[in-house]
Each structure stands twice: as C-alpha cells, then as structure tokens.
Structure 1
Amino acid sequence: MTHAPHSCGTGQPVLVNPHDRAVPLLSVEALREAEVAAQAALPAHTLMARAGAAAAHFLSEQLAHAPSWASDKPVWFAAGPGNNGGDALVVAAELHRAGVAVEVCMPVEVKPDDAHWALAEARAAGVPIVSSAPASFDAYGWLVDGMFGIGLARGLEGVFAELAAKLSARARSHGHVLSLDVPSGLDSDTGNVVGSGAAVRATHTVTFIAAKPGLYTGVGRDYAGAVTLAPIGIDTEDTPGAARLNAPSLFAAALPARDFATHKGTFGTLAVVGGDTGMCGAPILAARAALLTGAGKVHVGFLGSDAPPYDAPHPELMLHAAARLALDAMDAVAAGCGMGGSASARQLVDAILRLRSPVLLDADALNLIARDEALAAHVAQSADARGAPCVLTPHPLEAARLLGCDTAAVQRDRVAAARSLATRYAAVAVLKGSGTVIAAPDGRVAVNPTGNAGLATGGTGDVLGGMIGALLAQRLPPYEAALAGVYLHGLAADTLCAQGEGPAGLTAGELAPVVRKLMNRLFYPPGCAA
C-alpha cells in the first residue's frame, strides 16, 4: 500500500468531492486493513491528527461562507467513547486554536489510547468539555456528530440515542450538522441503521481514508447528506475487490463515436418486447427512452390484443405483434415491461434467451424466471452461448424472488444481494433503489450516486430498461451499458428536480428528453469527435 500526500502543497489537508469520481467504496474489513498498514509506517496518533485536521479544515471553509447566524456562533461537538470521539476532540482543538468558539459534550470519557491522546490535546488547548447536552441548540451554529464511526456493532441507546435524535431534528430544521466518518448509528457497509437503534441524519459527512458503500445506498444516502472524502494520506485506489462509485469515467470510453460517416445501422436496432393486454404503455415508455438514448432503430413487440397501430408522439417507433417480430435480426432485445405471466410470455422469454444478441430482462420477465427453474438455468447458460451476460434489472421485491428470499434480506445488504444475483445468474445485475447497485459476474461492482425520490413513480423502471437496451444495441458491453443507463437515468431526475420539476409530480415520460440533452452535453459536444 502506498501513501498519498496528506496536503495539496498548500499545507492544507486534501479534501475530495466524490461527485463524478469513480472512487473506491471500502468495506469495514478493507478499511481496517488499510488503517493497520498505514499505522505501522507512521508515528503514533498520526492518522487521528490528520483526520481531525481535515475535518477542521472543512468546517473552517464552511464557516467562512456561512450566514452570520451560523458563523458567529460556537461549534458544538458530540464526542463518543471511542476513536470517533477522539476525532471530534482533535477537530475541536484545531478550531479552538484558530479562534473559533467550540464546546464538546462527552457523556462518557473516551477509552482508546489514540482518543485519550486527543482528549489531552483538547484539554491542553483549553477546549470546554461538558458531560451533558444543552436543552436547546439555538446558541450554536454548526453541530458535529463524533459519537460512533465504522466500528459500531449495536444500535445506539441511552444518551447517545437521545443525542442522535436531537442532531437529526436540527438537521431537518436548520441544517449544518456534520458527521465525522459516518453518521453515528449507520452501518457503513450496508447503508442501514445498526440494530433497532437511532442514527444521526446529517446534512454533511466528512469521511476518512475512503468512501464507504453505506453512504451511497439504502437509507445511508438520506443520513449522510453531502459527502466529502478526506484520504488522510492513505492511497486506497487499488484495493482488491472494492466496489466503485458509478461515474462517467467507468463507461464514457465505451460510448460509440458519432462521426459524420455513421448511419442508423451504426447505432443498432433494439427490440422492446412486452405489453400484454392492458399494459401496452410500459413498452412504449421503454421504446421512447431507447430512441432518445441514441438507438438507430427501435421496434416494439406487443403480446396484448389492444396494442396501438403506431405511436403518435414518436412515429419513428415500429410497432408489431410480438409473435411477428424477427428477434434474431435485432442487435439487442429488452424484454419484460408489461409482459404479464402467461404461457405465451414464458415461451417468448425462452426464445429470447436463445438469441445471440445482448438481452436485458426486466419486470415480468424476471418474475417468470424466478418461478421457473428451467428458465432460470437458461439465463446463466445463455451467457456462454452469447459470449456476454444478460442484464437483469430487478427492484428489491423482484430481486428477492430471484434469490429465493424476502425483500428485507435483500435490503439488509444491497451490495451483497447484487453480487449474489450476478453470480447465481451469470448476469449483470442492476439492483434498483436508493443507491442502485450494479454488479457483474466477474466481480466488478458499482454503487450509483445519482437519482432521487422523483423516480419513485410508475414507469421509471421501464424507461431505465429502454435506456440500457438502447446502449446494448449501440454495442456497449453489458456492464458499461448498465452503468451508463443507471447514471444518466438518475442524473435526468436530478436535473429535473434542480429545475423545480420534481421530486413531487415528476413523471417517467419526462426523463428521456433530459437524458438526450445530458448525453449530448456530456459526451457529444458540438464540434468534438466522440
């Protein structure tokens, strides 16, 4: 393990905004290994001193730009009994020496050696330390959660649960709540609250050494707020088996060039298959999204008897009865949206799995596979025949059916569940939800940082399926197609929300036009060859 610089040449600690960066997301086990290796090569207390200095620098920057009601008031700290409490004490001492008024609440004295050193430093600096919290935080500006970090094994209780509730209430009402490393009470591996206890809902988190998957998936996204990474001199870039934060650097190079000499065949032909009677809107949504994500030609195959003859907003789409669609002539197939569970649907999925072209399976196609052992076995076997894995895009309930468990088990560890899906079905698994997890059968995993509650509405999954299908038709490898589709799908929702068109009332049909704009702005700017 090599050691990266702790400062950027200015004497200030390095702080990284993970936005749009494919940073590694380390498990607790990997973080412990990195920490032990670094400590063996450094003087005592160095890592805690660096962590505290980084968080103090973050707060100093925030105070310099904060409104007067926040910048002119003392910074209040909640310090726990472990090393997270030690980090808080170092931050408080650093700020106090810099002339910022601080107060530390330490209900239980810190125990580890590093934290005792930090306590001595804080006392020597003259930091006020008390054992109980004030009745009101009105006299304070920023509040800092330094109670518990990644080592928490049981839920918060007693005074620490009470403090977590008070900090969370402050975050919801006035903002300016910073958690150190991870919000206290949050499992940094899974993004779930530890045990049946409480957790701090922060507005900001400064996380040390490396980013953690739990800050980006499950409820962790809500609890962590805006995340800033402080590497504190430890290089984790090449950590074996680490998940990554999904970012354009993971998929942009796979996008096709848009040269003058290209034609519609260059960008592939996609078939969207589904739409049993009464559900024909789902494949139309998917197909429209595919068209606006750059597919050269898009066919729609309907199982139902009430299919429209053409799509008025997009007459470019070619609509057919599914049985008459020449699937073997397609560059990719996206199947399942509104498909239903009939015998005809089952036969169609079986035929699609025999194709040589890339395949995405969503919604009812996944439910058919979950209850049919022969189909399930065919998914894994078809990867060998095709030379590439299928893409499966389940929401948590569909994932639970595919894994033979309940939804709670999937949500307890979303990264592990996505890995299990990828392994069991030899497929690229896209486990949808807050912090969508994308897992490949070769072990690669990414957690997606884009998207918001605006996507919690009917049809957005169909749009995502059409987008990934279009990218498959454009000959992106399945993993990269999934990464790109998920990232742009979430970014479109974020863009609409920034414009005031969500999260409440955002509709699935609004996403694809924004995706088109984002693709062209980010990857195909005018006058630039892709």
Structure 2
Amino acid sequence: MTHTPHSSGAGQPVLVNPHDRAVPLLTVEALREAEVAAQSALPAHTLMARAGAAAAHFLREQLAHAPSWASDKPVWFAAGPGNNGGDALVVATELHRAGVAVEVCMPVEVKPDDARWALAEARAAGVHIASSVPASFDAYGWLVDGMFGIGLARGLEGVFAELAERLSARARSHGHVLSLDVPSGLDSDTGNVVGSGPAVRATHTVTFIAAKPGLYTGVGRDYAGSVAIAPIGIDTEDTPGAVRLNAPSLFVAALPARDFGTHKGTFGTLAVVGGDTGMCGAPILAARAALLTGAGKVHVGFLGSDAPPYDPPHPELMLHAAARLALDATDAVAAGCGMGGSASARQLVDAILRLRAPVLFDADALNLVARDEALAAHVAQSATARGAPCVLTPHPLEAARLLGCDTAAVQRDRLAAARTLAARYAAVAVLKGSGTVIAAPDGRVAVNPTGNAGLATGGTGDVLGGMIGALLAQRLPPYEAALAGVYLHGLAADTLCAQGDGPAGLTAGELAPVVRKLMNRLFYAPSYAA
C-alpha cells in the first residue's frame, strides 16, 4: 500500500512515503541529538505518544485493506524492555481504544521512564499483557516487532532471539509483520545484523523521526521491507551532513534539455575503453547502454585482438583498436570493462588520467589502480588538473582492493567505506551492492533505493558504467551523473521485475532499452498537450 503524507491534528505529517523523495537518512548520533532537542520543548512522553499514534494509524489503514484472515484476528505485539517496547505498548493501547483486539507479549518488563508511562497507560486501558510467548501465531493477524530499536549494542539472545526467528518465519510464510522504528537486531547505521544475530525480517517498518541508512543498504532492505516514516513533529530536513536517499530531485536539474535546436554534438562523445582478448562483450554492453542513455556519439576502443568490426544490433557504435582511438577528442571516457591487467592496459589507464575530459573507472581499471601506487596517486592528483573528480564504480571486492582491506571490512560499514574511497582518491565513489552508496569528495553521500536481485548477473556493472559515462559526456557533474545512472539502472531492473522479466533470468542487455523509456517518460515527456 502506498502512503502519502497524513496529518495529525497538530498539522504534522503522521506518515511520509519516502518513495522518490531525497529524505535524510540519520545516524543514531544525529537521531539522539534531534530527539533531545525536541524533548526539551515538549511535555513528558510526547514523542513516544506521537510515535505510537503514527504506528497505530498505519496499522488501522492496513487492517482496513487486509484479507479477512489478517483483519479479523487480534494484533499481537512483542514488547522489549526498552523504549521500543514502550512504543509497542502505546500502539497496542491506541488500537485497543479504537476497538481493535490486541495482545502484548512482554517477556521482560520495560524499564525506562517513558516506557513505564506507556505500560501504565496500557494497563489502565485494559490491554491484555502476558509474559509468555504463544506456541503458535495462528490465532493472530498482524504481528508487531517492538523489541529493540536503534543503538542496539549486542546481538539478540534468549527469548528475543527466538521471537526474531519466529517473526521472520511468519513474514516469509504469511506476511503482515511490522517492525517499529527498525527491525529488532538490525544496526540502523550500517544495515548489518548486530552481533551474531538473528534479526527480525519484517514486511513493513514504520520508522520514527527520520529514515535510517541501515534500512536501505547492506541486508537492511531485505529486513525492513516497505518503509514508512513517522516524523513525529521533528523536522530533520536540514540536518547538516545528512546522508540522503537518492531520488530524481538530486539530479534532474543537471540533465540536458532536449530542445529542437540541439544536435549530436550537444550530447557529447563518449569513449568506452576495455575489451581485452576474449572479453569484448563487456565494452559492447557498456557502449550500447551509453547510446540508449542519450550520448550523442559513442566510440569503443578494444585492447584485444578479436574485436568485432562493428556491432550488428547497433551499427551506430564506432569500434576501434584502443591504440587508434583519439581519446583527446572525446567529452568523457569510461574505462575498465573487460580491460584485463596487461602492461598495455596499465599504460592506457595512465594516459586516460592525463585527459581533461571526465573519467569513469570500473572493473579492471580499478584493479590496476589498486595494485599500482603511482596510478592511485595519479587518480587523486588528476582531479585537480581536470577540475572534476573521477568516478569509481567498485563492487565490494574491488573496493576492498582499493582500500587495502578485505570485503568483510567494506560490508561492515558501507557508508564509511564509500566515504573513505571518495576522500582517498578525490573521486566520486559508487560502492555497488544492495543499497548502492554514492559518495563525493566534498562530503555529499546518498544511498540508492532502486534495484533488486535481478542485477546479480554478469554484465550489469558494465551497463551501469556505460550509463554514467553517457551522462558525463552529456556534461552532468560527476556526482549527479553517478546519482542518475545508479537510480535509473536500479529502476530499470525494478520495472523489468514488475513485468515478470526478473529477478530470475534478467540479463544485462535488457536494462538499457528500459532505461531509455524511463528517461523519456520521467524527464523528457512533452509538457504540452498532443
């Protein structure tokens, strides 16, 4: 169900749908600061009351549209010992007063002052509260996870670990599992499971004050399900240095106009460089994607000896031996796909770094930079000479090589890894994966919400490189080019899956035609009546 903003009596939105909105994603530290500042000006328990009211509003809407097996049965709550348990108690009390049957399981009695207030309110209202866990959830419709929220320091244990596993199993089999604020056991900053796990894998999350990075990257997207934001009267829009959820508003203004008076030169010339012997398909995929993402002209430079003379599906592409490609006559270069690690490839990367044109490095170009200190230094230095940073598009293993660590270290904190890459190489870093992180050397960071498991197949990274390269050729600034490319790449996969063409069996070559349709539909549709 789609959630548009709803307003409370005080004029504050109860629920905000983050879809296509560049909402801030706040860390635990920033959330604590916002909460403390707000509480100082409010009566006691106000924020918990608002949070509970917002989540109750969400559940009432869901119950109104749920199948009878879910709407006609009691809503069951798992309440933890902290303030997340207090939130659950407020939600249960609100629903009970609205005539909805509820039951609360509180294995350990809540401790903080706000939560104790919520417990007293629930008891006064007559909410059924038990300490024992039911043997089966068959008697209940919606299940609500209110065990642990942000800032959890250790993995779930004992009865709470058991409940997390059972709630997750119910979500997989029947759906209708709601987590309050964050799924219990999930690190809201990193999107990883805390400790050795487990964590609740919910179908829906109502998150309070603001969305969190961990709901959108790492395994967080799988665990959080569909996310709605309950701001509870706290304005976080202008939080300094906040990570943003990637959305068209961050890049649409940078897209070139498609006026009648434009020509192919208006939209730039891209060179796609790579394709050592036996790997010529990679740059072809990238080049086709660049063509369909709107580049005016696309050249392909092959290092290998088995390059095709032309591309039959797209004879518009101009194919060359890499050594004969006039790179200094191009508006942008995307290099690395299928490039290999030869001495010739290394020399070509060094030559590309001397160009004034915007540069994207992917795949083998990144591996060459990672193992060559001189090239690595040149990447950072070239940003100054060029007046713009390179764009680096590593997957986690390539990022680990660039950072001199292992993949696990990258995945433990994807935002920190992307920021470090951006700072170390003075580049725009695109750390691919679930919830791709885009970080600029000036400190801007975004997490991408589009894409799915259909992208977990060979060649999709080449397509992304070609797309971002095409946007660089169209003179988008590097950060905006990366944001737009990543967003549209993921949205194309989402569109294909919605049509039944994925996630299983989706191929890289299917993405670019959908990207073309999305770009034209979203950004270039005529503004006048036909």
Post-superposition offset of 1:4: 16
Q: Please say if residues 82 and 111 of structure 1, whose CA atoms lie closer than 8 Å, have aligned partners that are also in contact.
A: yes
How much does 1:219 deviate?
0.2
- Structure 1 residue 72: Cα displacement: 0.4
Cα distance change, pair 133–2 in 1 and its aligned pair in 2 (3 A):
closer
Residues 332, 3 of structure 1: alpha-carbon distance in 2 compared, 3 angstrom cutoff: closer
Q: In structure 2, what is the Cα distance between the partners aligned to 1:494 and 1:387?
A: 35
Note if contact 1:6-1:50 (Cα within 8 Å) is conserved in structure 2: no
Write out per-residue CA displacement over residues 332-384 of structure 1, whole angstroms, 9 at most, x where no aligned residue.
Answer: 00000000000000000000000000000000000000000000000000000
Equivalent position of 1:231 in the other structure: 231
Answer whether contact 2:96 2:127 (CA < 8 A) is retained: yes
Unmatched 5+ residue regions in structure 1?
none
Q: Contact between 2:5 and 2:15, CA under 8 Å: does it hold in 1? A: no
Distance 2:425 2:388 in 1: 12
| Mapped partners of 1:12, 1:73: distance in 2 | 31
Shift of the 32–2 alpha-carbon distance from structure 1 to 2, 3 Å rule, reads farther
Q: CA RMSD in A?
A: 2.5
**Once the 2 structures are TM-superposed, how far is the Cα of residue 447 of structure 1 from its aligned partner?**
0.1
Q: Are the aligned partners of 2:182 and 2:215 in contact in 1 as well (CA < 8 Å)?
A: yes
Q: What's the CA shift for 1:307?
A: 0.1
User: Tell me, what secondary structure is at the counterpart of 1:418?
Assistant: helix
TM superposition shift of 1:133: 1.4
| Shift of residue 529, structure 1, vs aligned partner | 12
Seq. identity, %? 94
Change (3 A) 1:528 1:362: farther
- How many Å apart are 1:3 and its aligned residue? 22
Q: Residue 12 and residue 133 in structure 1: after superposition, are their counterparts in 2 closer, same or farther (change >3 A)?
A: farther
Q: Deviations over 1:432-485 (max 9, x none)?
A: 000000000000000000000000000000000000000000000000000000
Distance 1:4 1:165 in 2: 31
Name the CA shift for 1:236/1:472 in 2 (closer, same or farther; >3 Å).
Answer: same
Change (3 A) 1:149 1:51: same
| Aligned residue in 2 for 1:513 | 513
In the alignment, the residues of structure 1 paired with residue 149 and residue 10 of structure 2 have an alpha-carbon distance, to the nearest angstrom, of 29
Work out the CA distance in 2 between the residues paired with 1:498 and 1:10: 38
User: Compared with structure 1, are the counterparts of its residues 285 and 83 closer, same or farther at alpha carbon in structure 2 (3 Å cutoff)?
Assistant: same
* Residues in 2 aligned to 1:103 and 1:2: alpha-carbon distance in whole angstroms: 27
- CA offsets, 1:50-105, max 9 Å, x none? 00000000000000111111000000000000000000000000000000000000
The separation in 1 between residues aligned to 2:289 and 2:22, in whole angstroms, is: 26
Contact 2:205 / 2:224 at 8 angstroms: preserved in 1? yes
Give, in angstroms, the shift of residue 6 of structure 1.
9.2
Deviation per residue, 1:94-120 (Å, 9 max, x gap): 000000000000000000000000000
Cα displacement string for residues 156-187 of structure 1 (whole angstroms, at most 9, x for unaligned residues): 00000000000000000000000000000000
Q: Following the alignment from structure 1 to structure 2, what is the Cα–Cα distance between the partners of residues 269 and 523?
A: 21
CA 56–13 in structure 1, closer or farther in 2 if over 3 Å, else same: farther
What CA distance in whole angstroms lies between the structure 2 residues aligned with 1:11 and 1:305? 67
Deviations 1:287-317 (A, max 9, x none): 0000000000000000000000000000000
How far has the Cα of 1:132 moved from its partner?
Answer: 1.4
- Determine if the alignment matches structure 1 residue 414 to structure 2 residue 414: yes
Measure how far apart 1:151 and its partner are: 2.2
Rounded to whole Å, the distance in 2 between the matches of 1:204 and 1:2 is 12
CA distance in 2, matches of 1:236, 1:523: 28
What's the CA shift string for 1:107-161, capped at 9, x where partnerless? 0000000000000000001000001111111110000000000021000000000
Answer yes or no: is the 8 Å Cα contact 1:310–1:317 preserved in 2.
yes
Q: Could you tell me how far apart the structure 1 residues matched to 2:294 and 2:210 are? A: 36
Aligned residues of 2:206 and 2:230 also touching (Cα < 8 A):
yes
Equivalent pair of 1:248/1:484 in contact (CA under 8 Å): yes
Aligned residues: 530
Q: Secondary structure at the match of 1:333?
A: strand
CA–CA separation in structure 2 for the residues paired with 1:177 and 1:141? 9
CA contact 2:12–2:233 (8 Å) conserved in 1: no
Deviations 1:244-303 (A, max 9, x none): 000000000000000000000000000000000000000000000000000000000000
C-alpha separation in 2, matches of 1:259 and 1:388: 27
Distance 1:246 1:320 in 2: 36
1:398-434 deviation per Cα after TM superposition (whole angstroms, max 9, x unaligned)? 0000000000000000000000000000000000000
Give the 3 Å change call, closer, same or farther, for CA 3–441 of structure 1 in structure 2: farther
Q: Does the Cα contact within 8 Å between 2:284 and 2:300 map onto a contact in 1?
A: yes
Distance 1:529 1:270, change over 3 A: farther
TM-aligned CA distance change 1:347 to 1:156, over 3 Å: same
Aligned partners of 1:21 and 1:246 also within 8 Å: yes
In structure 2, what is the Cα distance between the partners aligned to 1:76 and 1:390?
Answer: 52
Indicate if the aligned counterparts of 1:13 and 1:57 stay in contact, CA closer than 8 A: no
Q: Is the 8 A contact 1:78 1:144 kept in 2?
A: yes
What are the ranges of 5 or more consecutive residues in structure 2 without an aligned counterpart? none
Q: C-alpha displacement at 1:7, in angstroms?
A: 3.2
Structure 1 residues 28 and 10, CA, compared in 2 at 3 Å: closer, same or farther?
closer
CA apart distance, 1:212: 0.1
State the SS of the aligned residue for 1:14. strand
1:3/1:44 CA distance change after superposition, 3 Å: farther
Equivalent pair of 2:4/2:15 in contact (CA under 8 Å): no
Q: Tell me, yes or no, if the aligned pair for 2:270 and 2:334 is still in contact at 8 Å.
A: yes
Question: Partners of 2:240 and 2:473 in 1: how far apart?
Answer: 31
Report the CA distance shift for 1:171/1:122 in structure 2 as closer, same or farther (over 3 A). same
Residues 109 and 365 of structure 1, relative CA distance in 2, 3 Å threshold: same
C-alpha contact (below 8 Å) 2:286/2:466 kept by paired residues:
yes
Task: Assess if the C-alpha contact under 8 Å between 1:353 and 1:359 holds in 2.
Answer: yes
How much has 1:197 moved relative to structure 2? 1.9
Q: Which residue of 2 aligns with 1:347?
A: 347
**2:524 corresponds to:** 524
Distance 1:386 1:528, change over 3 A: farther
Range that drifts further, 98-107 or 9-18: 9-18
What TM-score, normalized by structure 2, do the two folds share? 0.98
C-alpha change, 1:325 and 1:3, in structure 2 (3 Å) is closer
1:528: Cα distance to partner? Answer: 5.4
- Other-structure match for 1:246: 246
Partners of 1:155 and 1:529 in 2: CA distance: 58
Write the deviation string for residues 224-247 of structure 1: whole angstroms up to 9, x where unpaired.
000000000000011111100000
CA-to-partner distance for each residue in 1:475-524, whole Å, 9 max, x for gaps? 00000000000000000000000000000000000000000000000000
> In structure 2, the residue corresponding to 1:10 is in which secondary structure?
coil
Q: Structure 1's 138 and 278: CA in aligned 2 closer, same or farther, altered over 3 A?
A: same
Q: Which residue of 2 aligns with 1:501?
A: 501
Asked if the contact 1:145–1:184 (Cα under 8 Å) also holds between the matched residues in 2, the reply is yes
Contact 1:73–1:141 (Cα < 8 Å) also in 2: yes
Contact 2:5 / 2:17 at 8 angstroms: preserved in 1?
no
SS at 1:179 equivalent: strand
User: Where do 4+ consecutive residues of structure 1 move more than 2 Å?
Assistant: 1-13, 526-530
TM-aligned CA distance change 1:400 to 1:12, over 3 Å? closer
1:215 deviates by 0.1
Report if aligned partners of 2:4, 2:16 keep a CA contact under 8 Å in 1: no
Q: Cα distance 1:529–1:306, how it changes in 2: closer, same or farther (>3 A)?
A: farther
CA 1:459 to 1:2, structure 2 compared with 1: closer, same or farther past 3 Å? Answer: closer
CA-CA distance at 1:14 after TM superposition: 1.8
- Aligned partners of 1:270, 1:3: CA distance in 2, in Å? 41
CA separation of 1:475/1:8 partners in 2, compared to 1, >3 Å: closer, same or farther?
A: farther
CA distance in 2, matches of 1:234, 1:76: 29
